[in-house]
A and B are shown apart, each in its own frame.
Chain A
Amino acid sequence: MKYSYFPGCSLKATGRAYEESFLSLCKALDMEMEELENWNCCGATSFMSVEMGAAYALTIRNLAIAEKAGLDMVAPCGGCYGILLKADHYYKKYPTVHESAVKSLKTEGLEYKGTVRVRHPLDVLASDLPPRALRSKVKKPLKGLKVACYYGCRFVRPIAPFDDMHNPETMDLLLKTVGARIVDYTMKGKCCGGAMSGAMPNVAQEMTYLILRAAERAEADVVATACPLCQFNLEAYQDEIRAAHPDLKPIPVVYFTQLLGVALGLDATATALNRQIVPVEPILREKGILADEKKQPATAGV
């Protein structure tokens, strides 16, 4: 299985743990990810509302490059994934978008025929692997680990190619497969606060707080995400939130790819657990999933 891989900006910066864990996971599962050549910003910025024509051209340029490779294009970031789907849809539906994008692409000798299938890692891992491929590779089942899967918005809204729009469950199924216990709570599809965490932090942090508290009330040990912005919003502001809501306990927020990597027995570099702000290793050790460093230093993190 071979795919075009579109990392986007986050996976090279704040979301490095996502890229590292995802690529190691793919390697372990024999899924080849070939980074898109000369890719640019996905366009999921406020540029869309400032200069629509140029913004779509920016996004579609990535699709045009991917089309040349002729492979499905995997975009792990929720923002990238959503905007690529949207741009593809608009390109096919609205002649004005189509025309201006065609014109812009032409200056670089590119064209987009509209054949690229944009995929999310959740979709690829859940749909493309042969049956039992994931289960058969599990070395350290996440037994006893209570996970709150948090999806946020962009995988399923406004376009939902692979999961339910309001009650997504792909991540639940994947993590269940590797032995985790999935807790039920009603906030898994609600907004994480998005870019509001920069513009209006108090508003965003209230939204984040409700998600984290709901996960905590559902007795989750850890929150799993599939988007670098969700992950950052949920993890990075916990101290600030606690100033207003002292009841909030620190809760680790990881990428689902990290947990899958742990279950597959990948090493610490591959799972990138050291990049967390709220450490996740203690709970994994407590549950006996990661070996205790002191007792078995030789095999730790293998």
Chain B
Amino acid sequence: MDDKTIGNGSEEVRIGFFICHCGSNIAGTIDVEAVADYVRTLPNVVVSSDYKYTCSVAGQDMIVEDILKYKLNRVVVAACSPLLHEKTFRAATQRGGINPFFFHMVNIREHGSWVHQDRALATQKAMDMARGAIARVKFHKALEKRREPVRQSVLVVGGGIAGIHAALTMANAGKKVYLVEREPTIGGHMAMFDKTFPTLDCAACILTPKMSEVGSHPNIVLWSYSEVTEIKGYVGNYDVTVKRKPRYIKEDLCVGCLDCIDHCVFKTGNTDDEFNQNLSKRKPVYIPFAQAVPRLVAIDPAACTHLNGGKCEQSCATACDRQAIDFEQKETFEHIGVGAVIVATGFKPFDAHRKPLYGYGRFPDVYTALEVERLVCSSGPTGGDVVLKDGSKPKSVGIIHCVGSRDHQTNRWCSRVCCMYSLKLAHLLKEHTDAEIYNFYIDIRTPGKGYEEFYERLQEEGNHFIRGRVGDITDVPIIPEEEGRMIVRVEDSLAGFVRRIPVDMVVLATGLEPREDASEIRRRFNISCSSEGFFLERHPKLAPVSTTTDGVFLAGCCQGPKDIPDTVAQAGAAAAESLVLLDVGYVEMEPMTAFVTEKYCSGCKTCLPLCPFSAISRDEEKGVAVINPVLCKGCGTCVAACPSGAITQNLFEDRQIFAEIEELLVHA
């Protein structure tokens, strides 16, 4: 290996040290001036100064100017986490004319001021950390970033409105898109909604054109009833395996005539229709809803007599002119390569059974909001008639807000959309039934364009709003008017007493949760999640669609509860970020990879199976290990495992680390 180190031999090491106040974030707990004064006394330090916001343009300029003025060849900045500003300061170092890897960063905020209270001790710790960095940076070497081309295609996971919008945006920009959806159709939760707030647009009318566009777009490969099972590689060059579950229909032959459904031996449905929230039945051979995309039937192996080994005349198969039904179909796997991934896997509605006091599953006419969406929808199980289980129309409806949200027993977060969808359902229920509508709320949260106005409109329409968290729903009457009805017991916190409101129908405004398999998906795509389980964006404000894995972006409710406008905006942003990656055309690979010093390598193969990225192979001719720098992620496992010390990792060389540790421990 060519030793490019400046100052390791003849040249004098000249270090510039810069410590940041970060406003009061650091300076509030650490005496930054004292640290700067101390570091100035250390060997090889030519200049040491503090600055209020080192990451600002002025702060960066100060570094550049000092490099030129003092002929610096090393830079150390003590500030926040390298995750935030390492790039910034490396760039500044480069602008000063030095290789950016002669820069080193000390994290005295997350590892210092934010976690300590004792000013003297925190200051001492900052001094120790700075001294370690000064010792280590002497041994830094000039490194070059490697460039790799980016594949001009993207994988979108999830075909709800987020995935649909992201896919269309990318496809319209001329990129190849693979859209993978778990269910037989795209459309997600939005396809189940009747109307959308606050404009009361018909959800299907605005969604289905986009769905058909996905289905027919020349740049989109749509794989429904499929799941991503494996993803390997790195930003710009991901290798993806997609499992295509058998739908027992030859997709190239089925034209969606639906004759097979008519001819199924079951004359009526025999299994719960998930799309209608189990309020109706469907046949084993089915299409989720009329405007499903792709318009292909699927056969449910759990409900089909033949697929369960039972005797069946298979009239669906004989009814198909095109012989599209194939009971022998097995799952298949597709292997694709993409440059970027957009994860848009959506949410799960809160399970109302978890709030037993609200009687869901106990009283027949307690519904979840999503069930009511289907009830009021003209293509729903009742054709849009809001009728109770006994066939009557409700005269009085209670809508309970915040079910499973803002609740320390279940989920603490606000699900953001429930207030508005409750208002929408209140309006629709009133329109359909002319019932008295009672909204039981904690706070009404209507931040959004036209949202507050919609709330006012609902008040003017004569809906009742009662502020209080409902205690329970009971069927035990105390006055004749309550007989045979459900009674909502609630403390009206504006009136200041407990009320009993008899109703015929209860709607539970259930909140939004991470999907059940969110943590599995998270591990598959190597992204993080917040404590509640929603996927974590790289920065809550400034990188809201990126993740900690480069080239993997987030859109929609998998990142947190949000309404349709916000979901679409975020999906557009995720597409734009992906486009940046694809259009730049290359990615710069960090040089902190490991390499083998051949003369020390005995060819023992210890490292080969340890590499989680399969980056190590063996050169059989030379009998030594070889690390592919493109695949190496710099985890360091092989470095630690090598019995002959033949593997070195850039930026984590032994002499760098030991120099740092020695200085850190001087006072220990």
Contact = CB atoms under 8 A, between A and B. Distances in A.
Interface of A: 164-167, 186-187, 206, 210, 213-214
B475 A186 contact: yes
Nearest to B409: A165
Contact of B474 (A164, A166, A167, A186): A186
Nearest to A184: B362
Contact of A210 (B356, B359, B362, B476): B476
A186 B356 CA distance: 11
A210 B475 contact: no
17 contacts: A164-B356, A165-B356, A166-B356, A166-B357, A167-B356, A167-B362, A186-B359, A186-B362, A186-B474, A186-B475, A186-B476, A187-B476, A206-B478, A210-B476, A210-B478, A213-B476, A214-B476
Interface of B is mostly: loop
Contacts of A206: 478
Contacts of B362: 167, 186
Contacts, number: 17
Given A167-B356, A210-B476, 8 more contacts: A164-B356, A165-B356, A166-B356, A186-B359, A186-B476, A210-B478, A213-B476, A214-B476
Nearest to A209: B478
B132 to A, nearest CB: 39
Contacts of A187: 476
A48 B475 CA distance: 34
A123 B478 CA distance: 34
A214 B487 CA distance: 14
A158 to B, nearest CB: 11
A213 B476 CA distance: 9
B384 to A, nearest CB: 32
Interface centre among A167, A186, A210, A214 (most CB of B within 10 A): A186
B390 to A, nearest CB: 18
A166 B359 CA distance: 10
Contacts of B357: 166
A222 to B, nearest CB: 19
Interface string B152-182: 0000000000000000000000000000000
Q: What are the 3 closest A-B residue pairs judged by CB atoms, nearest first?
A: A166-B356, A210-B476, A214-B476
Interface centre among B357, B359, B476, B478 (most CB of A within 10 A): B476
B385 to A, nearest CB: 28
Contacts of A214: 476
B358 to A, nearest CB: 10
Interface in B330-379: 356-357, 359, 362
Contacts of A213: 476
Contacts of A210: 476, 478
A177 B356 CA distance: 25
Contacts of A165: 356
A8 B302 CA distance: 55
Interface in B478-510: 478
A210 B475 CA distance: 11
A19 B478 CA distance: 35
A117 B443 CA distance: 42
A206 B572 CA distance: 60
B514 to A, nearest CB: 24
Nearest to B358: A166
A187 B357 CA distance: 11
Contacts of A167: 356, 362
B362 to A, nearest CB: 7
A229 B476 CA distance: 22
Contacts of B478: 206, 210
Contacts of B476: 186-187, 210, 213-214
B496 to A, nearest CB: 18
Nearest to B355: A166
A196 to B, nearest CB: 15
Contacts of B356: 164-167
A167 B474 CA distance: 13
A166 B474 CA distance: 13
A206 B359 CA distance: 23
B656 to A, nearest CB: 47
B573 to A, nearest CB: 43
B354 to A, nearest CB: 10
A272 B476 CA distance: 32
Interface string B293-326: 0000000000000000000000000000000000
A164 B354 CA distance: 11
A213 B474 CA distance: 14
A54 B485 CA distance: 47
A166 B473 CA distance: 12
B554 to A, nearest CB: 36
A166 B362 CA distance: 12
Nearest to B478: A210
Nearest to A166: B356
Interface in B604-662: none
A166 B360 CA distance: 13
Interface in B457-484: 474-476, 478
B66 to A, nearest CB: 54
A167 B356 CA distance: 8
Contacts of B359: 186
Contacts of A166: 356-357
Nearest to A213: B476
A206 B362 CA distance: 24
A213 B475 CA distance: 12
Contacts of A186: 359, 362, 474-476
A151 to B, nearest CB: 14
A85 to B, nearest CB: 18
A190 to B, nearest CB: 8
A214 B475 CA distance: 9
Nearest to A164: B356
Nearest to A214: B476
A27 B476 CA distance: 40
Nearest to B356: A166
A83 to B, nearest CB: 23
B191 to A, nearest CB: 34
A217 B474 CA distance: 15
Contacts of A164: 356
A164 B357 CA distance: 12
Interface centre among A166, A167, A206, A210 (most CB of B within 10 A): A166
A211 B85 CA distance: 66
A164 B478 CA distance: 27
